[in-house]
Amino acid sequence: MLVTIQEVKKFSGEFVKIGGWVIKLRSSGKLKFILIRDGTGWIQCVMSKAEVSDEVFCLFNSLTLETSVIISGKVNPDSRAPGGFEIQINDIQIVGQSVDYPITPKDPNEKDHEPDFLLDRRHLWIRRQDQVNILKVRHSIIRAIRNYLDSRGFICFDAPIFTSNACEGTSTLFEVNYFNTQAYLSQSGQLYQEAGAMAFNKVYCFGPAFRAEKSKTRRHLTEFWMVEPEVAFLDFDGVMNLIEDFTVEIVAQVLVERKNELQELGRDLSKLENVKKPFPRIQYTEAIGILRSLGQNFEEGNDFGSPDETILTQQFDRPIFVHRFPHQVKAFYMKRDPNDERWALGADLLAPEGYGEIVGGGQREDNYDVLLNRIREHQLPIEPFQWYLDLRKYGTVPHSGFGIGVERTTAWICGIHHVRETIPFPRTIYRLTP
């Protein structure tokens, strides 16, 4: 039976077999060192000429980067080894050769491959330790999100991917020919969550979202994963409280579960440990004041661009809310501030250290006539929204929700520059393969 590298510590002094891939080879006279990885970790295996047959010793010469092997040997405690153990090799079985593996291990002293070179080989790049770490953190974020919502009575209520309407504006829709009628890939499951909240009180969907974004920034994918909770009888302050509590908990759980991975990624953990309540809540107009005082030339009435968000978040040591945006820049479904109709009751949560928006949410318009007018004002067709209007016709209640992007959250928590490394196979304007 094979033992994983993670389990090796339970077998100190015993003989085990490990299946893995070669990541580094080193030779020092009669000693051969083989570093292998198996997805759960990596371990150094040592082979001494005196202890194996000539035949096995010679196999070392046919090992290359990413050759798959089964190594048999004794688990020896070694305080110098990173995991505390190394394997004293008895036997090597080569499972699959690897000729001219194109990706070299990441070496802080050497220039890395160009991003496009790596992205073209994403199916192999994901084997590298930094990518494994990022994607393990992603997994823990997803689990933390589900734990948070599931333990608080939210029902997972999946939204369709094929839709007949636009949720987040008509300019970023992917069109699909759906049996000779026009359909779109979902930009957001929110409208369906609103129906779910009226049935279950608290719901969420967790699925892919599609945006035909022409943006080439480090924050934009055309296909990304979003979690969208929605709650009945929740007002605007209530949803900001929920987003705050949710974010604090997710970060705390990932810090517990993935400390090693984050450290290996070089993440400054103190920055994450700082993610505590309360998050500053800044009105749009205040945010403009801050930007202007920093010499930014910001035109009132616009939405913030990525550079504005970067500068704004660099002023704070934790995530911040920006709320009450001019209604013109926000989606048709947002409720307006009853105290000042210029503002939409929408809030963005901006992650610190320049990461920018990771959550968008707010209170929804719950009045039938007002919502109907908004749909008209936004020049959207009424027909596909008839069911959505029904929610305001049959027992409407105030309700609010939000959407958090998994990739942007992963980029922030891992402290990496670009969202393309936070999803197994990224999709951007220029990339559909692998």
Cβ proximity to Mg ion, 352 vs 360, nearer residue: 360
Site for ligand 4AD in 197-216 (CB under 6 A): 211, 213
Nearer Cβ to ligand 4AD, position 73 or 405?
A: 405
Shortest approach of ligand 4AD to residue 241 CB, angstroms?
15
C-beta closer to Mg ion: residue 125 or 225: 225
Does residue 402 bind ligand 4AD (CB under 6 A)? yes
Among 66, 86, 308, 357, binds ligand 4AD (CB under 6 A): 357
319 binds, among Mg ion, ligand 4AD, none (CB under 5 to 8 A by kind): none
Residue 319 binds to ligand 4AD (criterion: CB under 6 A): no
Complex with ligand 4AD: residue 294 or 429, whichever CB lies closer: 429
Minimum CB distance to Mg ion, residue 403 (Å) = 8
Does position 408 interact with ligand 4AD (CB under 6 A)? The reply is yes
Q: Is 308 a residue that touches ligand 4AD (CB under 6 A)? A: no
Residue 426, interface with Mg ion (CB under 5 A)?
Answer: no
Which range touches ligand 4AD (CB under 6 A), out of 268-276, 337-345, 380-388, 396-404? 396-404
Stretch that binds ligand 4AD, among 22-30, 44-52, 276-284, 402-410 (CB under 6 A): 402-410
**Residue 22 near which of ligand 4AD, Mg ion, none (CB within 5-8 Å, type-dependent):** none
- 3-state secondary structure string, the chain? CECCHHHHHHHCCCEEEEEEEEEEEEEECCEEEEEEECCCCEEEEEEEHHHCCHHHHHHHHHCCCCCEEEEEEEEEECCCCCCCEEEEEEEEEEEECCCCCCCCCCCCCCCCCCHHHHHHCHHHHCCCHHHHHHHHHHHHHHHHHHHHHHCCCCEECCCCCEECCCCCCHHHCCEEEECCEEEEECCCCHHHHHHHHHHHCEEEEEEEEECCCCCCCCCCCCEEEEEEEEEECCCHHHHHHHHHHHHHHHHHHHHHHCHHHHHHCCCCHHHHHCCCCCCCEEEHHHHHHHHHHCCCCCCCCCCCCHHHHHHHHCCCCCCEEEEEEEHHHCCCCECECCCCCCEEEEEEEEECCCCEEEEEEEEECCCHHHHHHHHHHCCCCCHHHHHHHHCCCCCCCCEEEEEEEHHHHHHHHHCCCCHHHCCCCCCECCECCC
Q: Are 373 and 332 in contact (CB under 8 A)?
A: no
Could you say which residues in the range 57-96 bind ligand 4AD, by CB under 6 A? none
Per-residue binder mask for Mg ion (CB under 5 A), 265-304, x = binder: ----------------------------------------
Question: Residue 360 interacts with Mg ion (CB under 5 A)?
Answer: yes
Residues in 151-170 that interact with ligand 4AD by CB under 6 A: 167-168
426 interacts with ligand 4AD by CB under 6 A: no
Give contact residues for Mg ion (rule: CB under 5 A).
Answer: 360
Residues that bind ligand 4AD (CB under 6 A): 167-168, 188, 190, 211, 213, 220-221, 224, 226, 228, 357-361, 401-405, 407-408, 419
